Structure formats: C-alpha cells, structure tokens
Amino acid sequence: MTKRTGADALAGGGDGGTVVSVGDGWESDDGGGGARRPEDGAGKGVVAAFGQTLKTLRLREGLDRAEFGSRIGYSAATVASFEQGRRIPSPRTIERADEVLGADGLLCVWKEEVERAQYPVFFQGMATLEKEAVELLAYDTLVVKGLLQTEEYMRAVLAMRRPPLDQETTEQRVTARLARQDIFDRTPSPLLSFIMDESVLRRPYGGTDVLRGQLEYLLLAGQRRNVEIQLMPVGAEDNAGVNGPFTVVTRKDGKRFVYAEAQGIGSLQTDPEQATLAHARYGIIRSQALSPRESLEIIEGVLGSL
C-alpha cells in the first residue's frame, strides 16, 4: 500500500495506490465534512495570512469588529477568530467581506487556498474531486449522506460523536458541510446518485422534528433532474453493498476514484482497477435497490407516519 497526499495521488491516479487518512476524514461516521480549521502547517500559514489581510482591510475602512461583523452576518468574536486564523470563513463569507470592505477582489483570490486549508492534506485532493466531479455515486447505511443532510440533522449527528466535539468544532464542521452542498447548484450539473439503506429513514436522530425536516429535504432533492435517490429495502435478500458504504467520483477526464471509511480511518483508492470495480459494484447495488420513484414514495410514507 502506498501512502500519498491528496494532490500527489490525484496527479498520479493512473498508476494505482491508496491514500490513507487516520482520524477525521471526509465522510466519517457523521456523514462528512472536516472542521473549518487549518489541518497542517501550510494550511495554518495560509489562514493566518488571509486573516491578517482581512484585518488590514477592515482597519483601512475604519470599521471595528462588531460593525464589520454585523455587515457580514457574524459576531465580533467570530470576526476575531477569522482574523487570528482560528476559524475559516466560507467562500460566500469571503465574497461578502470583499464587497463590504471594497477590496476589489483582493480577498476573493484567497478563496480556494483558504477552503483547502480546512481539510487534512489527504482530503484536499478529494475536495477538489468533488468540485470537478461529473458523476458522484454514494452508498450509505447508517446516516443520510452529508451532501443531503439538513443543518439540523448535521448538528444532531455531530452531537452524538464520542468523545464529544466542542461547540466551535461543531460550528466549523456544519459550515464546511453546508458549503459542500453547492455541488447541487453547479453548472453544468453533475450526475448525483445516492443509495441508502431504508433503515436510515427510521432513525430519529435529533428527534421527530429533525427527522421530519430531513425527509422533507430528501423529497425536494429527489425532484432535481440531476439527482437520483434510491433505497435498499430492509427486506432485500441480495445486497452487493454488504461490505459497507463507499463513494465513487468520476472526474471530467473520465478517471474514477473510490472512497471508503470505517471507524475514522479513510482510504481514497486511486487504482483504476479498484475504482472500476467499485463503479460496477455500485451498478449492481442500484439494480437491487428500489427505483427512484418507489423510493420517494416510501420516504413520503414514512414522513406521513411521523
């Protein structure tokens, strides 16, 4: 097994290999999204430099943190954490800050670097893949996929982590995960397929109200022309996904990558053969699952019973 960092692995995706991340990875048991904090030395440097630039521009405009924060929708304490490199703003927040401070794009040029800094080195490559994907296929068994989670569901699942996450980390992860959902509105639209075990619909994480909101969101997402949501029925006698959840991403150049994780240890397969086999396995799972129409009808039925 060869260990490589995200960027190197993707660049050399044709020669096989596996990238392993120990600890908090992409999806993890909570449905994905790393903390919005720098994960390595280089990332910390980027975030610190961005924060200093933000502070310099704010002072140039004669704004204190409270006034600036009110204009971009954050508290003075959060603005301080941005400027001190302790918290990473979302791309939309950077755009808003650039506009409020009249920076003429000076802050916006940092968006990609700052966004990458929130992830472990391994996931920086995967985050790039997600943005470049023309097709994303995901099979999940315990929770709704992170890309399909409502904010309330995210918070409920994150609250169940053991050891517990502190409040700042929770907020950072929610922000990061919500930002990743821009994939649904991208142009051109990627093809997105999600298959989940039917039992996921009946797990009331966070309570009935949270589950109700999540099911309503799934129904709306399933109506998008580029999104298919399917259920693997609990009564299925055949399921090619018994080895657990995984995600297959196809890039614009046709190369495929497969990600899987268990107990916080994640692997990104760059071996073309393994990615091809995972893609084929997903096709079998898709044929064994209920159709998108049948699946939405079941989701609607579960929602009506709450």
Position 173 scores a pLDDT of 75
Residue 225 DSSP SS3: coil
Give 236's DSSP letter. Answer: -
Q: Any idea what the Cα angle at residue 290 is, between residues 25 and 274, rounded to 5°?
A: 40
Residue 282 has pLDDT above 50, yes or no: yes
Position 28 scores a pLDDT of 36
Measured CA to CA, the distance from residue 63 to residue 69 in angstroms comes to 9
Residue 15 has pLDDT above 50, yes or no: no
What's the whole-number mean pLDDT along residues 42-57?
A: 88
C-alpha dihedral sign at 217, 219, 223, 228: positive
Share of the chain above pLDDT 70, in %: 82
Q: Which of 244, 270, 274, 247 is nearest to 259 (CA)?
A: 247
Q: For 192-205, write each residue's pLDDT tens digit.
A: 999 999 999 999 99
Strands 227-232 and 191-197: parallel
Q: Any idea what the Cα angle at residue 107 is, between residues 149 and 189, rounded to 5°?
A: 40
Measured CA to CA, the distance from residue 74 to residue 283 in angstroms comes to 44
What's the whole-number mean pLDDT along residues 173-181?
A: 80
Q: Where are the beta strands (DSSP E) in 172-239?
A: 191-197, 227-232
Q: Which of 209, 213, 231 is nearest to 139 (CA)?
A: 231
Give 258's DSSP letter. Answer: E
186 torsion bin: left (phi>0), alpha (psi -120 to 50), beta (else): beta
Position 71 scores a pLDDT of 96
Measured CA to CA, the distance from residue 214 to residue 210 in angstroms comes to 6
Q: For 213-267, write each residue's pLDDT tens digit.
A: 999 999 999 999 999 999 999 999 999 999 999 999 999 999 999 988 777 666 7
What's the whole-number mean pLDDT along residues 3-13?
A: 43
Residue 61 DSSP SS3: coil
Measured CA to CA, the distance from residue 222 to residue 31 in angstroms comes to 18
Q: For 71-112, write each residue's pLDDT tens digit.
A: 999 999 999 999 998 888 888 899 999 999 999 999 999 988
Tokens at residue 169, please? 């980390």
Give 263's DSSP letter. Answer: T
Residues contacting residue 208 through CB under 8 Å, at least 6 positions apart: 306
pLDDT band at 289 (very low <50, low <70, confident <90, very high): very high
Measured CA to CA, the distance from residue 200 to residue 157 in angstroms comes to 12
20 against 28, higher pLDDT: 20
Q: Where are the beta strands (DSSP E) in the chain?
A: 18-22, 135-140, 191-197, 227-232, 246-250, 256-262, 265-269
Position 73 scores a pLDDT of 94
Cβ atoms within 10 Å, residue 107: 23
C-alpha dihedral sign at 275, 36, 131, 52: negative
Mean residue pLDDT of the chain comes to 85
Residues contacting residue 239 through CB under 8 Å, at least 6 positions apart: 232, 285, 288
Tokens at residue 151, please? 């904010």
Residue 87 DSSP SS3: coil
Q: Which of 5-14, 73-82, 277-286 has the lowest mean pLDDT?
A: 5-14
Position 214 scores a pLDDT of 98
Residue 148 has pLDDT above 80, yes or no: yes
Position 266 scores a pLDDT of 67
What's the whole-number mean pLDDT along residues 54-61?
A: 96
Share of the chain above pLDDT 90, in %: 63
Position 36 scores a pLDDT of 47
Position 149 scores a pLDDT of 97
pLDDT band at 33 (very low <50, low <70, confident <90, very high): very low
Measured CA to CA, the distance from residue 280 to residue 246 in angstroms comes to 12
227 against 45, higher pLDDT: 227
